[in-house]
Amino acid sequence: MPKWVSITLIDLKAFRSSPREFLFRSSALNCWSTLFLNCASLPEDAKVLDRINEILFIETHLHCAASAGHTQFAMEIVRLKPIFAKKLNQHGFTPIHVALQNNQDQVLLQLLDVDENFVRVQGRECVTPLHYVAEIRNLHLLAKFLKVCPETTEDVIVRKETVLHIALKNNMFDAVELVLGMASADLV
């Protein structure tokens, strides 16, 4: 029996009692099809995602899927509720920040395929995903982010630092060359 069928049969009662919790369990298990089956079967709770969005700082299903590397579930949530990609959790991180923190590059890159500007979404202290990859010294992702959204080099965090400042502080001279190379290419 497919995983989503067993979850749907077992947890339909759970969905009725707590739709939000059920969606978290589905995202944790990467069962995106249950999202449609159960939301469609209970039209009185069709606005569960809207109610979640009303809360200012909350761990959404997209945060959970991004953390676990469940790309397909994450993409379905973004398709249904794109604003969730910019939603901050209680710690001040977006789903993209959470994917980065958990080395879930596949989810991250798929989200950037939806909207390249997600790389500019600010988390706690105005840190964008670009700033974060400079802090953790991930030259590969830094290059990818600069390629999809070169204007991110202008973004400034709370400490008044750009990605160039962060790269210099972390002795990432390859990153400095990359950022300066992008800037000089823009001038030509």
User: What is the domain-level CATH number for residue 132?
Assistant: 1.25.40.20
> pLDDT of the chain along its 188 residues, tens only?
344 434 444 444 454 455 556 555 655 555 445 554 444 444 555 676 777 777 788 888 899 889 999 998 899 889 888 999 999 999 999 999 999 999 999 999 999 999 999 999 999 999 999 999 998 889 999 999 999 998 888 999 999 999 999 999 989 889 889 888 876 665 44
What is the predicted pLDDT for the residue at 56? 80
Claim to verify: residue 152 and residue 101 sit in the same structural domain? no
Claim to verify: residue 95 and residue 122 sit in the same structural domain? no
Claim to verify: residue 110 and residue 120 sit in the same structural domain? no
| Helical residues (DSSP H) of the chain, grouped into ranges | 3-17, 19-29, 32-41, 48-53, 61-68, 71-80, 95-101, 105-114, 129-135, 139-148, 163-169, 173-187
pTM above threshold 0.85: no
What is the predicted pLDDT for the residue at 7? 40
Claim to verify: residue 131 and residue 47 sit in the same structural domain? no
Claim to verify: residue 124 and residue 103 sit in the same structural domain? no
Claim to verify: residue 76 and residue 130 sit in the same structural domain? no
What are the CA-CA distances from residue 37 to residues 32, 68, 122 (Å)? 9, 22, 34
Claim to verify: residue 2 and residue 90 sit in the same structural domain? yes
What is the predicted pLDDT for the residue at 20? 56
Distance, in Å, from the CA atom of 165 to the CA atom of 171, rounded to the nearest integer, reads 10
Residues 121/129, Cβ–Cβ less than 8 Å: yes
